[in-house]
Chain A
Amino acid sequence: MALLEVENLQTHFRTPDGGVNRAVDGLSFSVEAGETVAIVGESGCGKSVTSMSILRLIPEPPGKLAGSIRFEGRDLLKLSEREMRAIRGNEISMIFQEPMTSLNPVLTIGQQIGEALRLHQGLSKSQAEAKAVEMLTLVGIPAPAKRVKEYPHQLSGGMRQRVMIAIALACNPKLLIADEPTTALDVTIQAQILDLMRDLKRTVGAAIVLITHDLGVVAEVAERVIVMYAGRKVEEARVEDLFRTPKHPYTQGLLGAVPKLGSSLDGTTERLAEIPGLVPSLKQKIQGCVFASRCPYATDLCREVAPALEEKAPRHVAACHYAVKEAVAA
């Protein structure tokens, strides 16, 4: 049994004008214990909504969740709010993008790390503080005994993100959801945080769901990748396979649109590949393939019939009528 099994997740929002926004529409995936899975896609593809749905952070209404999210066999969508609170920050925790806004400015770092420990593990105030110092050491913050007494504004962006990671890992979660954890950081700080996440993964052993739009980050940390487009999964593969032989035209477009460092040396600074057009509105039900309106290979079949996710190569699925299918060992 996988650690997390998401099946046919549908997160829809009622819009003020009475319509429905299908932010996530029939998403299925699973995460094994200790595995790092990346969900990539552009703004509005539903990747963040997916992560919020797993922790049931979507306000209902206007949101509406359907399908199932099984964590260690228990369907999170069927749990009461009370049971859910025992899971959040304890067995599943989350790192958000903005370390500036996701920490409470009027509480010390120590109090914020200690909160989860006191709540979930029943530690006393002094025990929680001792553990907070330990966590700060773990995430590589210098002078942790001094830092626990400080407030978020006294820390730099990279340090705050380290504190966020310390909070998320305080209760030894089995699953860590990282929603764009390095997007707001500078490259040299991003490199530090990515290194830290890799190290911690080895020592702590939590499974990670990494939400990002940065293909470079994906290539560096993920083992498996899910590509989302307009609320649906269009491709899923092991990271090497996805970058070497992308099957879906959208994934191919995305990879072609990113310039690579070193391009001026081997003379490959030609025009970037563009994906023409815009992401379709999610307020209408899309008939056929979600990518058909922008796909260079689209035919009438694509516009009428939605392609099913199909195994095109071993452990490599894509939702495209025309993606080349390699021999799949039975």
Chain B
Amino acid sequence: MSMTMGTHPAHANAHPAAQANAHRGARPLLEVNDLKKHFPIKGGFFGGTTGQVYAVDGVTFHIDKGETLSLVGESGCGKSTVGKALLRLFPPTAGQVVLDGQRIDDLSAGKLRPLRRRIGVVFQDPFSSLNPRMRVKDLLAEPIRNFGLAKNSADLDERVAKLMDTVRLPRDAVNRWPHEFSGGQRQRICIARALAGEPDLIVCDEAVSALDVSVKAQIVNLLQDLQKELGLAMLFISHDLAIVEHMTHRVAVMYLGKIVEIAPRRELFGAPKHPYTEALLSAVPVPEPGAARERIVLTGDVPSPINPPTGCRFHTRCPYAFDRCRSDEPKLQQTTPGQWAACHLHDLPAEKNPLARGVSATLA
């Protein structure tokens, strides 16, 4: 571990938050260290900056090759902003994004361009993310051409046809227009386009949220198949916890611009170590009538990211909050191997910590 740390440029001036990234052996595909994105609020008589929206405020995580990491949280927690910032759809305010050992957050647009091929993206709404005036053929050929992947026009056609096979659409549909397809088929086209650059990582920003139940299942299955076939890593941004649990390896839970818990699937869903995760899980309606569940209903709304609460950002809604939570901001700490949570409860003795139980206790 120390060796990889030493040779790793990302750790040269390692931020304390990067510790969560530094405990593993092999180099991860993507590392995000203390990423911040603040949006200025313009206003006032001279149109100056009157405040900041702390959309993402210090987020650290990594994704290994072939791994799915899910970012979950409620609207406004900054999960989509993380996705967009690491794709450099806008420049991050601070922090590092390291792709395969190379920092990409500070590259010039020209230097970044060839690397963009390695991260694909699928957005939520398949109706607005395909240009209605381009045939499927051109939609898929554009990234191949832009990145100069095809040797000649025959190769280009072959690649487009292969992409159609990959997403299980008929090859002869390439001459059709986006409006001729249903929502699920369009999302397949979006996935094919994301795969056109032969990426190592796909960012799925609520990629199945807008789809109907039966179509959603088709797309989820397709994404899982593709991950197996192509060894893709995935950043799966979603608010649907049941889908996330079904398909992810690890989960990061965000609240008001920060990761409050990050853990392997089984640990997170079996024995959440942050009160927000616990409440979030208990709030999901379960398709099982009469299922006896203890629901933690959080009072109030999510505070504004313009003026986040002091101390722990969750203390205004947390059922377990005590004095320290209001003044002292908790750091991510490892509670069980691989499971990190930012909560002061874990500094208390186990008998006073309501979140101390492990997965095995839940199953028993």
Contact = CB atoms under 8 A, between A and B. Distances in A.
Given A264-B265, A265-B269, A274 B241 contact: no
Given A265-B362, A269-B245, A272-B246, A213 B280 contact: no
B213 A254 contact: yes
Interface in A162-205: 186-192, 194-195
B297 A257 contact: no
A264 B270 contact: yes
A307 to B, nearest CB: 20
Interface stretch (B96-104, B217-225, B338-346): B217-225
A255 B287 contact: yes
Given A264-B270, A265-B266, A192 B285 contact: no
Contacts of B285: 190-191, 194, 214, 216-217, 219-220
A192 B297 contact: yes
Contact of B217 (A158, A257, A269): A257
B173 interface: no
A157 B285 CA distance: 19
Contact of A274 (B218, B247, B362): B218
Nearest to B214: A275
Interface string B210-250: 00111111101100100000000000000101110111000
A250 to B, nearest CB: 9
A13 to B, nearest CB: 20
A263 B270 CA distance: 10
A219 B291 contact: yes
A7 interface: no
B323 interface: no
A43 B212 contact: yes
Nearest to A255: B287
Interface size grouping (class) on chain A: 35 or more
A255 B287 CA distance: 8
B289 A239 contact: yes
Interface string B291-324: 1000101100110000000000000000000000
A249 to B, nearest CB: 12
B192 to A, nearest CB: 18
B286 interface: yes
B297 A191 contact: yes
Contact of A264 (B212, B215, B266): B266
A242 to B, nearest CB: 8
Contacts of A195: 295, 297
B134 interface: no
A278 interface: yes
A263 B269 CA distance: 9
A122 interface: no
Interface in A200-225: 213-220
A183 B144 CA distance: 38
A262 interface: yes
A156 interface: yes
Contacts of B157: none
Given A43-B212, A219-B287, A260 B269 contact: no
B359 A188 contact: no
B283 interface: yes
A218 B287 CA distance: 7
Contact of A254 (B214, B295, B362): B214
A42 B266 CA distance: 31
A261 interface: yes
Nearest to A244: B289
Contacts of A191: 282-283, 285, 295, 297-298
A265 B364 CA distance: 11
B363 interface: yes
A257 B280 CA distance: 22
Interface string A218-258: 11100000000000000000011001000000000111111
A271 interface: yes
A257 B213 contact: yes
Contacts of B265: 264
Interface string A252-295: 01111111111111100101111110100000000000000000
B242 A261 contact: yes
Contacts of B297: 188, 191-192, 195
Nearest to A242: B289
A216 B287 contact: yes
B261 to A, nearest CB: 15
A199 B359 CA distance: 33
Given A271-B221, A274-B221, A261 B284 contact: yes
Contacts of A240: 289-290
Contacts of B288: 219, 243, 260
A264 to B, nearest CB: 5
B26 to A, nearest CB: 24
A260 B214 contact: no
B213 A213 contact: yes
A266 B48 CA distance: 55
A233 to B, nearest CB: 18
24 contacts: A158-B301, A187-B283, A188-B298, A190-B283, A191-B285, A192-B298, A195-B295, A217-B285, A219-B286, A219-B291, A254-B213, A256-B217, A258-B213, A259-B220, A259-B242, A259-B245, A261-B245, A261-B284, A262-B245, A263-B242, A263-B246, A265-B362, A274-B214, A278-B184
Sorted nearest first, the 10 A-B pairs with minimum C-beta distance are: A216-B285, A259-B246, A257-B217, A191-B283, A186-B74, A275-B214, A42-B212, A272-B217, A215-B287, A219-B289
Given A213-B213, A259-B242, 9 more contacts: A42-B214, A191-B297, A213-B212, A214-B285, A216-B285, A257-B217, A265-B362, A274-B218, A278-B184
Interface of A: 42-43, 156-159, 186-192, 194-195, 213-220, 239-240, 243, 253-266, 269, 271-276, 278
